[in-house]
Amino acid sequence: MNPPPGRLKFRGQAGPAAGHSGSGGPCPAGPGAFPAARPPAEAAPSETGTEKLLLFPEKLASLRRADFQSPDPLYPVSVELSLTNRCDLGCVYCSDSGIRRGPDLFTPALLERLFDDLAAGGARGVVFEGGGEPLLSPLFPEAAEACAGRGLAAGLITNGLRLFADAAGADSLARLQWIRVSLDAASEGQYASLKGRRGYARALRNIALLCSLDPRPAVGVGYVLTSRNDDPALLRELGLTLKGLGADYLQIRPVVDHPELESRRDLSEALADLQDGSFSVNLAPLSDNLPVGNLGLPCLAHSLSAVICADLRVFVCGRLNADPSFPPMGVLGQGHGEGFGGIWRGEGRAAQNALLLDGAWCAARCPRCRMTKYNRLLADLGRLKTPDFI
């Protein structure tokens, strides 16, 4: 599969990506077929750790001032945006299937108004994700361009199968700060078993092409760990392959909402030594994302992000949005032509803020969530007895 014609350039050459046949044949997967890993240095930082809060001191201070009556007024650092509810895979562990029943309602005009609002309000980034597969939306190329044109950083979470399917979509990849491919398998057999079709080799080829872009976004690989894809030897082989391709990180996180598929396999011995200055293996979510009920803590961290669905519903939480008893904060374009700012400052969010700042409510209602690690940090900061000293 050749990269499509367009403005896209690949590192070290003017034509097809290194490791690609250039004649329409498949990208070879043997030794030396992919770009070499960059030279080792100190350990690469985690791209999803709590230390990233230090990049947003005003937001951190605002989070700590929030209370039941006064939500954090600052816009989210980043917004998770679904352009479509369509998906070309059938993952057995999908936690979004319940929210993918609505129609795709975004238009170019709605997206432009949304991005204008987010940029003016101080949001920093937009993540195109699911819901469905973002690259199935015909709006993706212009949405990526529109973000960049307003100074908003953009990221993409994708299954990776359509990354180079057409020229317009491929050209827009250069506008992104980062791309994470949800691979979730370490062999073609695992991929077909967990996702309902073959696609492992194609996804790896596209990751190789991503890593050959010049300039290129940060490239990561996501892996939902289950009892059906937790073989340490295969995962180590995958890690070595990704490192050889030039990927920046492998993030492994636990399956949620499907206890029958849970794995508690210890992977640290198989994967930890793969890390160097150019490649990180993030195993922290396997413990950070396990607690249920947010540890009984108030969820101050909910306002770090917000979720906007393809049917224009806006949620304060990317996990509770699957709970039919937890309504959206609002719907874009409803009410008085309501935009994101009106919803963020509105009564719906204020009411949900009061719930989420009640630790007992969170203990009873919150599922496993990546925000728990931030809430633990914020709670620890609040309990310090020597806050004026290092």
pLDDT in tens, 220-240: 999 999 999 999 999 999 999
Residue 245 has pLDDT above 50, yes or no: yes
**310 or 32, greater pLDDT:** 310
Checking if the pLDDT of 135 tops 80, the result is: yes
Q: What pLDDT score does 95 carry?
A: 80
Decide if 281 contacts 272 (C-beta within 8 A): yes
| β-bridge pairing 305-308 and 78-81 | parallel
Q: Does residue 120 fall inside a structural domain? A: yes
pLDDT of residue 8: 61
* pLDDT for 19: 36
Strand (E) or helix (H) holding 180: strand 178-182
In this model, does residue 186 exceed pLDDT 60?
yes
Residue type, 198: R
In a domain, 11, yes or no: no
Interior/surface letters 148-174, b for 16+ CB within 10 angstroms, e for the rest: beeebbbbbbbbbbbbbeeeebbbbbb
State in Å, rounded, how far the first CA of the chain is from the last one: 55
Residue % of the chain over a pLDDT of 90: 79
pLDDT of residue 11 exceeding 80, the answer is: no
Distance in angstroms (rounded) separating the CA atoms of residues 331 and 312: 5
Q: What is the pLDDT of residue 356?
A: 96
Is the pLDDT score of 271 beyond 60?
yes
Stretch 247-255: mean pLDDT: 96
251, 222 contact by CB (below 8 A): yes
In a domain, 42, yes or no: no
Residue 227 falls inside a structural domain: yes
Q: Where are the alpha helices (DSSP H) in the chain?
A: 57-65, 108-121, 140-149, 167-172, 188-195, 200-211, 232-245, 268-271, 285-288, 340-344, 347-356, 359-365, 372-383
Output the pLDDT for position 22. 36
In the predicted model, is pLDDT for residue 322 greater than 90?
Answer: no
Residue 282 and residue 284: Cα distance in Å, rounded? 6
> Taking 60 as the threshold, does the pLDDT of residue 36 lie above it?
no
Q: Is residue 33 part of a domain?
A: no
Mean of pLDDT values over 180-193:
98
Please tell me whether residue 309 adopts helix, strand or coil conformation: coil
pLDDT cut 70: percent of the chain above it: 88
Quick check: 327 pLDDT over 70?
A: yes
Angstrom distance (rounded) from CA 386 to CA 389: 6
Mean pLDDT of 143-151: 96
Band of residue 16 on the pLDDT scale cut at 50, 70, 90 = very low
Q: Is 179 helix (H, G, I), strand (E, B) or coil?
A: strand
- Cβ atoms 342, 278 nearer than 8 A: no
Task: Give residue 23's pLDDT band: very low, low, confident or very high (50, 70, 90).
Answer: very low
Residue 336 is predicted with a pLDDT of: 52
Residue 182: CB partners within 8 Å, gap ≥ 6?
157, 158, 159, 160, 222, 224
- Judged against a pLDDT cut of 80, whether residue 14 lies above it is answered with no
* Residue 60, token pair as written in the block: 């951190």
Name the domain count of the chain.
1
Q: For residue 67, which amino acid is it?
A: D
CATH code of the domain containing 199: 3.20.20.70
Structural domain including 104 reads 52-383
361 occurs within a structural domain = yes
Answer whether residue 27 shows pLDDT above 70: no
pLDDT at 334: 76
In a domain, 239, yes or no: yes
Distance, CA of 368 to CA of 200 (rounded, Å): 28
Question: How far is Cα 239 from Cα 267, in angstroms, rounded to an integer?
Answer: 12
Does 104 have pLDDT greater than 60? yes
Instruction: Give how far Cα 51 sits from Cα of 56, 131, 251, 373, Å.
Output: 10, 28, 16, 11
More reliable by pLDDT, 31 or 127:
127
Cβ proximity of 206 and 181 under 8 Å: yes
Q: Round to whole Å and give the CA distance between 204 and 200.
A: 6
Place of tokens 């849970």: 262
Q: Under DSSP, is residue 271 helix (H, G, I), strand (E, B) or coil?
A: helix
Task: Indicate the pLDDT class of residue 6, thresholds 50, 70 and 90.
Answer: low
**Residue 10 placed within a domain:** no
How much of the chain is helix, strand and coil, in % rounded to 5? 40, 15, 50
pLDDT, one tens digit per residue, over 367-382 is 999 999 999 999 999 9
Considering only residues 101 and 49, tell me which one the structure prediction assigns the higher pLDDT: 49
- Burial call 54-85: b when 16+ CB within 10 Å, e when fewer: eeeeebbebbeebeeeebbebbbbbbbbbbbb
Residue 35 has pLDDT above 60, yes or no: no
Whether pLDDT at 289 is above 80: yes
